[in-house]
């Protein structure tokens, strides 16, 4: 096809080059933000009399009509017009003629795409924040419903100490609270208006950047035109925050997968969120949790892709920057889909409290409390550790639990064991004794729950 910006050329563009370099097949989704930015730009050009007020009005009207066509699906994007910007500008000129050719005054696609990506990313952050909150609410609801349930807490995936299920669930709540904080913080750095930087050095026209920033609800205008057209830090940060949130989702998924095995039997995920096997009739597979875990790799991949694309780029705009889009779009879509489905799946989970409780009877999880008891009687912690270790070994050999031991048996390991030690040997007591901020005692977890609900 003939050249888009053809004045300087005599030859045509190779078809293969057109197909290789077009971006409209994936950047067409930026159209609503592109048009919003163009409307603000046109209004400013009119207000500053850089173009006539009547041309500005025609441009704005034309852009709004195009936005409607795009929204209702009747607009035809053409890959021969390369990208979203050119598609919309060409449609505008076709629709309103001469005035449409004045829209690009004092602007370049370089600051235009920077603007579009910032507007887009800001909206994705807001949507993501809402979805994280939805997931946190689902965690809180589960924690409240099963507040009394105690299960083994694990280190090294070995029984460690009993904890409240609510405490376990609120651990994820805290991870997602940090994710929300991260997205909120990064929103400030997204929220800087790059338009006016033009290609790289600014423009001789007497533009009013503050007006555009105000209309588009930016907190600030960029302070260096060269940085503004080449900066993609905000997208890298977006991917980093997304990758970390996905990592948290993935850890939660992994626990759901583990807990729904017959070996654990702690939970059963609802039928609507599990799948059968094409060959094994008995199967009920936690595919959704597995997929969330699996999709984490794509989002981490997006972060690495962006960092790698940026690392060798000289100032200012380079076409490499077009490669930011597919990874960052995929990262955002993936994260939002995973947050949504996880929030929907959590309420379908049945908790097998009896299995969790039975599991707390295994693994000698009261051992630390016994050692701490001896410490309270004046024994050094290291010696107490050794003493209780021996008692555990004794139980392992005789296939007994610590709570099966009689007082004289206990006292054969240490004369400091007294009758009150018996009541220490229950998960309830063990949990209750961890009564400090951040501990798993029910009173503490109750107030953590209250705080969590307030933060939503």
Q: Is 109 an interacting residue with respect to ligand ARG (CB under 6 A)?
A: yes
**Of 329, 337, 339, 334, nearest in space to 33 by CA:** 329
User: Which C-beta is closer to ligand ARG: that of 23 or that of 161?
Assistant: 23
Give the integer Cα–Cα distance in Å for 220 and 427: 55
Which listed range, 47-55, 108-116, 233-241, 400-408, lies at the site for ligand ARG (CB under 6 A)?
A: 108-116
H or E stretch at 193: strand 192-193
Instruction: Report the nearest approach of ligand ARG to the CB of residue 32 (Å).
Output: 16
**CA 149/CA 159 separation, integer angstroms:** 16
Radius of gyration of the chain (CA): 31
Cα gap 450→448, rounded to integer Å? 5
For the bound state, the minimum distance from the C-beta of residue 452 to ligand ARG, rounded and expressed in Å, comes to 41
Any bridge partners for residue 158, and if so which?
A: 155
Catalytic residue among 25, 52, 54, 277: 277
Residues of this chain, 310-349, that bind ligand ARG according to CB under 6 A: 317, 319, 321-322
Tell me how far, at minimum, the Cβ of 326 lies from ligand ARG, in Å.
10
The neighbour count for residue 393, using CB atoms within 10 Å, is 11
118 binds ligand ARG (CB under 6 A): no
Q: Which of 113, 132, 186, 267 binds ligand ARG (CB under 6 A)?
A: 113
Give the shortest CB-206-to-ligand ARG separation in angstroms: 24
Minimum Å gap between C-beta 297 and ligand ARG is: 25
3-class DSSP state of 196: coil
Q: ∠ CA 83-216-133 to the nearest 5 degrees?
A: 95
**For this structure, is 167 an active site residue?**
no
The token pair at 54 is: 């009547």
From 2, 74, 156, 278, the catalytic residue:
156
277 is catalytic: yes
DSSP 363: S
Please calculate the CA angle 117-118-122 and round it to the nearest 5 degrees: 115
Using the rule CB under 6 A, which residue among 110, 136, 260, 316 binds ligand ARG? Answer: 110
Binding mask 6-35 for ligand ARG (x = CB under 6 A): -----------------x---x--------
State the catalytic residues.
156, 277
Which residues of the shown chain bind ligand ARG in the complex (CB under 6 A)?
Answer: 23, 27, 83, 109-110, 113, 317, 319, 321-322
């Amino acid at each position: 096809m003939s050249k888009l910006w053809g004045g300087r050329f005599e030859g045509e563009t190779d078809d293969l080059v057109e197909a290789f370099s077009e971006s409209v097949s994936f950047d067409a989704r930026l159209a609503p933000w592109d048009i919003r930015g163009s409307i603000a730009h046109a209004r400013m050009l009119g207000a500053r009399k850089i173009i006539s007020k009547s041309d500005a009005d025609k441009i704005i009207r034309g852009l709004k009509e195009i936005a409607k066509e795009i929204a209702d699906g009747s607009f035809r994007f053409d890959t021969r017009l390369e990208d979203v910007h050119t598609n919309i500008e060409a449609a505008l000129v076709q629709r309103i003629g001469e005035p449409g050719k004045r829209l690009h005054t004092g602007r370049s696609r370089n600051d235009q795409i920077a603007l579009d990506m910032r507007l887009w990313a800001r909206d994705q952050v807001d949507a993501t924040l809402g979805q994280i909150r939805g997931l946190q609410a689902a965690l809180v609801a589960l924690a409240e419903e099963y507040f009394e349930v105690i299960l083994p807490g694990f280190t090294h995936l070995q029984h460690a100490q009993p904890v409240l299920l609510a405490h376990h669930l609120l651990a994820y709540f805290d991870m997602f609270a940090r994710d929300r904080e991260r997205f909120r913080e990064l929103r400030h750095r997204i929220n800087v208006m790059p338009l006016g930087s033009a290609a790289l050095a600014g423009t001789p026209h007497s533009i009013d950047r503050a007006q555009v920033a105000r209309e588009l609800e930016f907190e600030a205008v960029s302070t260096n035109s060269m940085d503004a057209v080449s900066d993609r830090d905000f997208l890298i940060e977006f991917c980093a925050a997304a990758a970390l949130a996905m990592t948290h989702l993935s850890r939660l998924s992994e626990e759901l997968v583990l807990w729904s095995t017959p070996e654990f039997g702690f939970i059963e995920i609802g039928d609507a969120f599990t799948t059968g096997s094409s060959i094994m009739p008995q199967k009920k597979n936690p595919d959704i949790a597995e997929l969330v875990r699996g999709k984490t790799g794509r989002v981490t991949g997006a972060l690495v892709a962006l960092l790698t694309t940026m690392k060798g780029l000289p100032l200012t705009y380079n076409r490499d920057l077009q490669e930011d889009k597919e990874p960052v779009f995929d990262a955002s879509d993936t994260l939002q889909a995973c947050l949504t489905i996880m929030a929907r799946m959590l309420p379908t989970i049945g908790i097998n409290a009896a299995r969790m409780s039975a599991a707390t009877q295994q693994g000698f999880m009261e051992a630390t409390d016994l050692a701490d008891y001896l410490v309270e009687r004046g024994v050094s912690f290291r010696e107490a550790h050794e003493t209780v270790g021996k008692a555990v070994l004794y139980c392992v050999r005789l296939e007994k639990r610590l709570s099966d031991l009689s007082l004289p048996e206990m006292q054969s390991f240490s004369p400091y064991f007294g009758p009150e030690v018996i009541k220490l040997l229950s998960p309830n007591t063990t949990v209750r004794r961890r009564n400090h901020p951040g501990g798993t005692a029910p009173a503490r977890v109750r107030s953590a729950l209250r705080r969590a609900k307030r933060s939503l």
